[in-house]
Amino acid sequence: MKTDDLIKALDADARSKAMPLRSAWWLAAGVAVVVAAVVFMMTIGPRPDFMAAAHTIRFLSKFVFTIVLAISAFALIRALSTPGATTGRAMVAMIIAPLLVAVAVVLELFMVPQALWSTRMIGSNMMICMSFIPLIGIGPLAIFLWMLRYGAPTRPVLAGAVAGLLAGGLAATFYAAHCFDDSPLFVATWYTIAIAALALLGALGGRFFVRW
């Protein structure tokens, strides 16, 4: 079968589902948020000084990073799950979150004495961060991988990796409400490692469970 014919066949299969793919993705995202919220509240929950911390830019900036990542990954995974859909613009948008983190890190390096750089980067919760972001995100990742099977991605490994980034952005958003380390150096290091772990799991899931 020619590639174009395969893409048309996959697209027809995706469109023949009981629920339109776009609506199904929004439903899946809503369920994933609920699952992540339940796991978060049943395990660590928000930090005790959440309301006071919410008045600081450093604390709020964490949510900007994670939410931008989740939104851009959601746009890209929806495109990847639809054969023939253009992904160029969504791919470019994936750069926004890392750029925001990079700018915040540079500003932090200018504002904080060099002697404190390593302290800010290591923080006090790195092991909790690397444990609970994957824990909170594993349920949403499973939901997103199932959604990829509901769709018809022609690049399942890439789509799975993006599913992991989406789950990681969602999980990191919840975890940020608990995290006492507000430094961009900490976020750039440990949040990235934890989210990357979910992206790797997603790529493996795409390789073995989202195949045609």
d(CA 104, CA 109): 9
24-35 burial, b at 16+ Cβ within 10 Å, e below that, comes to: bbeebbeebbeb
For 82, the 3-state DSSP assignment is: coil
Specify whether the CB–CB gap between 76 and 94 falls below 8 A. yes
Is residue 18 very low, low, confident or very high in pLDDT (cuts 50, 70, 90)?
low
Place of tokens 């799950």: 81
Name the amino acid, one letter, at 34.
V
d(CA 115, CA 113): 5
Q: Which two tokens stand for residue 12?
A: 């027809």
pLDDT at 110: 93
Is residue 20 very low, low, confident or very high in pLDDT (cuts 50, 70, 90)?
confident
pLDDT at 10: 53
pLDDT tens digits, 80-110: 998 777 889 999 999 999 999 999 999 999 9
pLDDT tens digits, 45-62: 999 999 999 999 999 999
Mean pLDDT of 18-25: 80
